[in-house]
Structure 1
Amino acid sequence: MKSFVYIITDRNRKNLHVGMCSDLLKTIKFYSEMPTLFFDSANQLNRLVYFEEINTEEQAMARFQQVSTFTRMQKEKMIRQVNTDWIDLTAGLNYESGIRVRPSVYGRPSIQPTRRAVAL
């Protein structure tokens, strides 16, 4: 089963929180639903700036423990290697998950040929 090791931060990049989960979108949604779980509202963790997808849970746990011991400078260097502008990666994840969802037959507009008036 795939697992993720991620780093999430607040809007000012003051706090870097390292975590591990099996469903990244669900975890990000949890952070948005519980904004003051770890910090007050000014330091709300809401920007996913780094994540790794790892194949096994044992490897993910080892990587999580390794990244958790990193200093702030090491974490920042790791983030900047893949996300130089520290943009929120959640939008890309939402987009990718939307591609995998099969569209509903009832939600699509019907395709009908357009009729043109014939000039005589």
Structure 2
Amino acid sequence: MKRFVYIITDRNRKNLHVGMCTDLLKTLKFYGEMPTLFFDSAQQLNRLVYFEEINTEEQAMDRFKQVSTYTRMQKEKMIRPVNPDWVDLTIGLKHESGQKVRPSVFAGRPSIMPARRAVTF
């Protein structure tokens, strides 16, 4: 069974939390449902910025222990080559797994779209 070692952060990139799981999407959903589990609501962990897929449980546990001991600078050096803009990787995971991805803000909501009217003289 495959395991994932991941790094998740808050919107201000103030905290970097390392974790390990078997189902990454389920774990991220849990973080969303329990926003104050590790920190207060202002520091909600909701942005997946890095993950590794590892084949065996022993290798995953060794890698998790190794990454957990890293300093912040070492974790940032891991993240930057694969995710230089620190974007949330959850959307890509949902797309790959076939889950429905949230549409854009203006799609299907005509009340928000700016109205364009023809000007006649």
Aligned length: 99
CA distance in 1, matches of 2:67, 2:40: 24
Unaligned segments of structure 2, at least 5 residues: 100-121
Task: Quote the residue 1:93 is aligned against.
Answer: 93
CA distance in 1, matches of 2:57, 2:8: 20
Task: Quote the residue 1:52 is aligned against.
Answer: 52
CA distance in 2, matches of 1:22, 1:57: 9
What SS is found at the alignment partner of 1:48?
strand
Structure 1 residue 23 corresponds to structure 2 residue 38: no
CA distance in 1, matches of 2:82, 2:63: 17
Q: CA RMSD in A?
A: 0.8
Percent sequence identity is 85
Task: Quote the residue 1:69 is aligned against.
Answer: 69
What SS is found at the alignment partner of 2:39?
coil
CA distance in 2, matches of 1:40, 1:70: 23
Please list the CA deviations of residues 54-107 of structure 1 after superposition, one character each: whole Å capped at 9, or x if unmatched. Answer: 0001100000000000000000010001000000000000000007xxxxxxxx
Task: Quote the residue 1:102 is aligned against.
Answer: none
Return the letter of the residue paired with 2:83. Answer: N
CA distance in 2, matches of 1:54, 1:81: 19
Task: Quote the residue 1:109 is aligned against.
Answer: none
- The alpha carbon displacement at 1:11 in A equals 0.2
Please list the CA deviations of residues 28-79 of structure 1 after superposition, one character each: whole Å capped at 9, or x if unmatched. Answer: 0000000000011100000000000000011000000000000000000100
What SS is found at the alignment partner of 1:81?
helix
| Structure 1 runs (4+) greater than 4 angstroms displaced | none
Q: Structure 1 length normalisation: TM-score?
A: 0.81
Task: Quote the residue 1:7 is aligned against.
Answer: 7
Task: Quote the residue 1:34 is aligned against.
Answer: 34
